[in-house]
Structure 1
Amino acid sequence: MNLKPGVGKTTSAVWLAHALHASGLSPLLVDSDPASSALRWSELAGGFPFPVLALPVGDVHRRVNDFLDNRRAVVFDAPQMEDHAQIARGVLRYASDWIIPVTPAPIELDRMAPIDREMDDMQSLRSRPARAAVLLNRTNRPDATRTGPDADAREALTERGFDVLSTHIPRLDLYSQSFGSPVEVKGTAYMDLAEELVNRQDAA
């Protein structure tokens, strides 16, 4: 989820769904963005090894369970809040984990305040609070750094009360140019992300 388009929501959702599949969790990928980018990606790639459901509706939180079967995980590609707030809020009402991909740049960090307010509002509508976390995306180095914009962004977000995931996604053509292509997820940062999220859920 995020306020704006173009921050890597679809890429993150598709790669994470593949990582969960590779981990044996048999996900359902829900494309709730009216642009249908995740669904189109699946079509161009000749299909994903798990179902992709187009559900760009405001009551998505009421409909998803009708399609679950025995799936052990659901990944949403949520639309940007600024244009499709009702749909995004439906996703937030359903999902137990809210992942906000953020590039470590000042303009992206500045957009976190309205996202934080939106999340606070949605938490009040839930019977159980969701776990919200920031995923540093398109970072400058393959490995975490102790200095520079990646480290500065992590520190700034943590000081503002955001939970920042340990896993980060480096800026690589492997991810940024992958739309429409089959995904080979083994050995990538998204496998680490899937493991971290599963561990967080188990701990909760």
Structure 2
Amino acid sequence: MNLKPGVGKTTSAVWLAHALHESGYSPLLVDGDPASSALRWSELADGFPFPVIALPVGDVHRRVNDFLGNRQAVVLDAPQMEDHPRIARSIMRYAGEWIVPVTPAPIELDRMAPILSEMDDVQSLRAEPARTAVLLNRTNRPDATRTGPDADAREALTEWGFVVLDTQIARLELYAQSFGSPVRAKGSAFMDLADELIKRQEEA
């Protein structure tokens, strides 16, 4: 989830779903964006090895379980909140883990205060609070460092009260140019992301 488009929401959702599949889970990928980018990606790639459904509606939280079956994980690709707040909020009401992909750049960090406000509003509608985390995306290095813009962004977000995932996604052509192509998550940072989220789920 994020306020705006173009921050890597769909790329992250598709790669994460593949990482979960390759980790032995059977995910369901829900495309909640009216642009249907995740669904279109699966069509261009001659299908994904797990189901992808389009649910760009304002009551996603009431409908997802109708498609769940025996799936062990659900990955939801939310649209940008600034254009589709009703759909995004509905997805947030369903999802137990909210991931905010953020590029470590000042203009992106400046948008985080309104996101925190949106989170607080939707948390009040839930029976149990969702876990929330920031995924540093399109970073300069694949791993966290002690200095540089990635480290500065991580420090600032932590000071503002965000949980920042240990995993970060480097700025790589492998991810940037992957739309429409088959995905092989093994060996990628998204396998680390899947592992980290699974551990968070187990701890919860």
TM-score (norm 2): 0.99
Structure 1 counterpart of 2:61: 61
In the other structure, the counterpart of 2:134 is 134
Q: Where does structure 1 differ by over 6 angstroms across 4 or more consecutive aligned residues?
A: none
In 1: Cα distance, 2:67 partner to 2:166 partner: 32
Report 1:169-184 matches (<5 A): 169-184=169-184
- Superposed, 1:145-156 pairs within 5 Å as 145-156=145-156
Deviation (angstroms), 1:25: 1.1
3-state SS of paired residue (1:132): strand
In the TM superposition, what are the counterparts of 1:20-169 in structure 2 within 5 Å? 20-169=20-169
The offset of 1:143, in angstroms, is 2.3
Secondary structure of the 1:57 match is coil
Q: Which ranges of structure 1 fall in alignment gaps of 5 or more residues? A: none
SS in structure 1 at match of 2:165: strand
Distance 1:142 1:120 in 2: 31
SS across alignment from 1:118: helix
Task: For residue 57 of structure 2, give the secondary structure of its aligned residue in structure 1.
Answer: coil
Q: Match for 1:104: what amino acid?
A: P
Q: 2-side partners of 1:88 and 1:142: how far apart?
A: 29
Deviation at 1:156, TM superposition (A): 0.2
Mapped to 1, the partners of 2:55 and 2:8 lie a distance apart of 19
Distance 1:24 1:71 in 2: 11
Match of 1:122, SS state, is helix
Query: 1:91 and 1:168 mapped to 2: Cα distance?
Result: 23
CA RMSD of aligned residues (A): 0.4
Give distance in 2, aligned partners of 1:107 and 1:183: 30
Q: Write the distance in 2 (CA, Å) between the matches of 1:25 and 1:131.
A: 20
Which of 34-43 and 141-150 deviates more? 141-150
Instruction: In structure 1, give the amino acid aligned to 2:116.
Output: D
1:144 Cα offset (Å): 1.7
Distance 2:95 2:67 in 1: 15
**Number of residue pairs matched?**
204
